């Protein structure tokens, strides 16, 4: 059977090279990422004792770190508008985005910042979305795929019509979320959703209003990641 010749510049191979480089880095405490320089991609791991996340914790014990809970990116300011940075190693895009995540965790009533670690990789800006996409497809992290809202920021004027995100229902404590409308989703429903997702079961469909809100929040989160 004939095979196509290997092309190192194929999009899939380029994405895998970014993944390989990032996963070769040692995780560091998320709380210590304030001095990170540059823009790029990152992988967050959880090793705490929140009961619903036991399978995630197990996958990250003994320095294995095989089960991320969230994957994201930080593009240099102006990247969405077509600007290209002269040096991806400069600026605070990664540091600011990771600091936002650390603050969200610190405000949550049932999470501890010391239970989170992060791997990051400074990447030339044109490759950042490609790297993020391949990592999410490879690992399918819980907070990217089943429990939405971790990357959200204060919605400002949309507060009056916006429900608390699933993440804020499951991990209450962020001040801006307390000002949002109460979600039709319950904590019990979301814990069951976590269990189903981590065990590979089909997920119960979310209410239409929540699906529509999540689509809008995803667009805002992408904008936030590009402009921190």
| 47's tokens | 């090793």
Note whether 184 and 207 are within 8 A (CB).
Answer: yes
Residue 7: partners with Cβ closer than 8 Å, 6 or more residues away: 13
Residue 82: the pLDDT is 47
Does some domain include residue 32? yes
Does some domain include residue 88? yes
β 70-74/40-46 pair status? antiparallel
pLDDT in tens, 79-118: 554 445 555 677 899 999 999 999 999 999 999 999 999 9
| 60's tokens | 């990250």
Does some domain include residue 71? yes
* Residue 161 lies in domain: 11-227
Residue 81: the pLDDT is 46
CA 72, CA 133: separation in Å to the nearest integer? 9
- Which residue do the tokens 């990170």 mark? 36
Which H/E stretch holds residue 44?
strand 40-46
Task: Please give the tally of structural domains in the chain.
Answer: 1
CA 118, CA 95: separation in Å to the nearest integer? 12
Residue 188: the pLDDT is 97
| CB atoms closer than 10 angstroms to residue 192 | 15
Does some domain include residue 6? no
Does some domain include residue 113? yes
Residue 29: the pLDDT is 98
CA 205, CA 195: separation in Å to the nearest integer? 15
- Residue numbers in the chain where pLDDT is lower than 70: 1-2, 78-88, 157-160, 221-228
Point out which residues pair with 45 in neighbouring strands. Answer: 117
Residue 168: partners with Cβ closer than 8 Å, 6 or more residues away: 149, 152, 174, 177, 180, 183
Does some domain include residue 3? no
Q: Output phi, psi for 44, to 5 deg.
A: -105, 135
Does some domain include residue 2? no
Does some domain include residue 24? yes
């Amino acid at each position: 059977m004939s095979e196509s010749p290997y092309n190192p510049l194929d999009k899939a191979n380029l994405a895998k090279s970014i993944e390989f480089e990032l996963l070769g880095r040692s995780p560091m405490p998320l709380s210590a990422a304030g001095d990170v320089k540059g823009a790029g991609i990152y992988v967050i791991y959880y090793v705490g004792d929140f009961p619903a996340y036991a399978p995630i914790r197990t996958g990250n014990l003994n320095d294995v770190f095989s089960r991320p809970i969230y994957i994201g990116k930080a593009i240099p300011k102006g990247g969405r508008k077509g600007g290209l940075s002269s040096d991806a190693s400069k600026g605070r895009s990664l540091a600011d985005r990771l600091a936002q995540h650390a603050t969200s965790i610190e405000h949550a009533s049932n999470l501890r910042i010391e239970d989170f670690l992060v791997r990051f990789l400074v990447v030339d800006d044109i490759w950042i979305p490609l790297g993020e996409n391949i990592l999410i497809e490879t690992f399918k992290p819980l907070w990217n795929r089943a429990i939405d809202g971790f990357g959200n920021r204060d919605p400002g004027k949309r507060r009056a019509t916006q429900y608390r995100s699933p993440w804020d229902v499951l991990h209450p404590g962020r001040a801006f979320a307390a000002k949002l409308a109460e979600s039709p989703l319950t904590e019990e429903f979301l814990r069951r959703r976590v269990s189903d997702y981590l065990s590979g079961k089909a997920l119960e469909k979310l209410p239409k209003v929540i699906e529509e809100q999540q689509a809008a929040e995803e667009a805002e989160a992408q904008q936030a990641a590009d402009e921190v």
